[in-house]
């Protein structure tokens, strides 16, 4: 069990619910009518906050959860300062805190941009793109990606010009990659060192990589992501804020991720 925000949100819901519900039961068995004048301060707070924390818990645990992008590992798809929404139910409904799946739904697909709990430190959330599915053989050599022996096709879009906190990636080569039918942008920094190798994805796991291929701490370094670690699928940019690049990026708000 992880003592993260979800845990404290659940505890707040339980505590405020117990205080408010217990007070109502006490009044029922003592045959008293609830009146604002006689209501203890702690009960007043519990009555006020319980509906709020309950709604937040349900939305965050089962529907959507907001995240902020803190690094450039998914450039140019996601920029530092992007605020995204993550679909929490597309891969199945899980109970909060214990993360046990109770309703199975869609399976993750190649090309999905996913948020997951970092396998080496589950309290930390990462965001990457699914490259390999269970049973796949993934290879990465000379900055070229291969899936089950077939090279992943890509087309150069020229030199990338970074903005704001992503200016350090200016000069990288911008490609349009076709990941077996899923087209998306990637960056390759030809002068940067690159890890290489062949990886076989175990059952129940996924091989993930960042779109900023030479600036991403991903499955090439620490292995695959267990299905149980998946938080959800990123699908929407609802806000973008980079104080080094004109503040609010209005042109990015409302962007659907692919």
Question: Which tokens belong to 56?
Answer: 């937040």
Cα dist. 82→11, 87, 235, 254 in Å?
29, 16, 12, 11
Active site residues: 73, 128
* Cα–Cα distance measured from residue 247 to residue 59, given in angstroms and rounded to the nearest whole number: 28
Backbone angles phi, psi at 115, to 5 degrees: -100, 135
Question: Which tokens belong to 22?
Answer: 């217990």
Cα dist. 92→101, 118, 119, 150, 189 in Å?
7, 19, 19, 31, 37
Q: Of how many residues is the chain composed?
A: 258
253: closest CA among 241, 230, 233, 237? 237
- The DSSP-derived string for 117-184 is E-TTSTTSEEEEEEEE-TT-EEEEETTEEEETTEEPEEEEEEE----GGGGGGTTSEEEEEEETTEEE
């Amino acid at each position: 069990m992880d003592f993260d925000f979800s845990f404290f949100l659940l505890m707040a819901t339980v505590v405020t619910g117990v205080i408010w519900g217990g007070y109502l039961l006490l009044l029922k068995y003592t045959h008293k009518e609830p009146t604002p004048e006689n209501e203890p301060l702690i009960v007043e707070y519990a009555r006020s906050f319980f509906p709020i924390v309950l709604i937040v818990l349900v939305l965050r645990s089962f529907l959507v959860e907001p995240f902020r992008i803190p690094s450039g590992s998914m450039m140019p798809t996601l920029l530092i300062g992007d605020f995204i929404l993550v679909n929490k139910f597309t891969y199945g409904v899980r109970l909060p805190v214990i993360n046990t799946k109770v309703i199975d739904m869609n399976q993750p697909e190649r090309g999905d941009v996913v948020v997951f709990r970092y396998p080496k430190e589950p309290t930390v959330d990462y965001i990457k793109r699914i490259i390999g599915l269970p049973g796949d053989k993934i290879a990465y050599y000379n900055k070229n990606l291969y899936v089950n022996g077939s090279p992943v096709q890509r087309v150069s879009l020229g030199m990338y010009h970074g903005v704001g906190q992503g200016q350090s990636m200016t000069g990288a080569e911008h490609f349009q990659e076709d990941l077996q039918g899923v087209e998306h942008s990637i960056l390759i920094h030809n002068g940067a060192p690159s890890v290489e190798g062949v990886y076989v994805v175990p059952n129940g796991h996924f091989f993930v990589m960042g779109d900023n291929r030479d600036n991403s701490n991903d499955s090439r370094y620490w292995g695959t992501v267990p299905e149980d670690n998946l938080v959800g699928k990123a699908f929407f940019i609802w806000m973008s804020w980079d104080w080094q690049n004109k503040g609010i990026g209005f042109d990015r708000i409302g962007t659907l991720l692919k």
